Structure formats: C-alpha cells, structure tokens
C-alpha cells in the first residue's frame, strides 16, 4: 500500500483562528486540570435543585470523579451522578454515597 496519495488535514490549534463557519475542535479533557473539573462539578451540583446543597463531597484524579457523602434517597444519588456527567473533562464517575444515612 502506498501513502503517496494520502493527505492529512491538520486540526486547528488555539494559535490559529478558525475560519468563519468552520467547526472548532477543542479537547476539553486535555485543557482542564483536576481542580478545574472539581470546581465545575461542585458548581453543577450547587446549581441542581434536585441535589441537596453541600451534601456531596467531590474528589478528582486524572478526570475520574468520586462523589461521596450521604444521600437522602436513591434519586438524590442518581441526580448527583447526572450533574457530574454534565461537566466536560469527566472521564469516569465513582459514586460512594450512602442512601438513608444522615
């Protein structure tokens, strides 16, 4: 097989401005660190009315989010996980929340 006829189109970088109407490629996982992801997950949890405020602890390591703490019911636990999934850069979620314990 010959590669002479093949061409690769370079992806736009942050240094080059995208052309009008051109799709913009960004890999948010590469750009965010664990502290940024943690802050965004905490903000998302605080803004979600279905998750009790301040009841969920959040740890992040290489994009893996661990949610810990008490949950009043399974719905609150599931809503906390869904809120964390909405954050760009989250690669996996570990839910370590006890239901019914306060």
Vertex 15, ends 13 and 90: CA angle to 5°?
A: 50
Instruction: For residue 1, give both structure tokens.
Output: 């097989």
The domain segmentation of the chain, as residue ranges, is 28-99
Q: Which of 72, 70, 74, 76 is nearest to 49 (CA)?
A: 76
CATH of 28-99, one of 3.90.850.10, 3.30.1340.30, 3.20.20.60, 3.30.450.40: 3.30.1340.30
Angle between helices 34-47 and 74-85 (to 10 degrees): 130
44 φ/ψ angles, rounded to the nearest 5 degrees? -60, -40
Residue 64's pLDDT is: 95
3-state DSSP call for residue 81? helix
Q: What is the pTM of this model?
A: 0.67
Instruction: For residue 4, give both structure tokens.
Output: 């002479």
Say which residues have a Cβ less than 8 Å from residue 54's Cβ, sequence separation at least 6. 46
| Mean pLDDT per 10-residue interval, the chain, length 102 residues | 45 53 55 91 93 88 94 91 95 91 52
């Amino acid at each position: 097989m010959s590669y002479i006829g093949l061409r690769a189109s370079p992806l736009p970088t942050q240094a080059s401005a995208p052309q009008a109407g051109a799709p913009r490629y960004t890999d948010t996982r590469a750009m965010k660190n664990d502290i940024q992801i943690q802050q965004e997950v905490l903000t998302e949890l605080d803004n979600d009315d279905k998750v009790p405020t301040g009841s969920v602890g959040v740890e992040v390591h290489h994009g893996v989010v661990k949610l810990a703490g008490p949950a009043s019911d399974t719905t609150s636990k599931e809503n906390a996980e869904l809120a964390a999934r909405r954050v760009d850069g989250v690669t996996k979620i570990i839910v370590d929340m006890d239901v019914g314990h306060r």
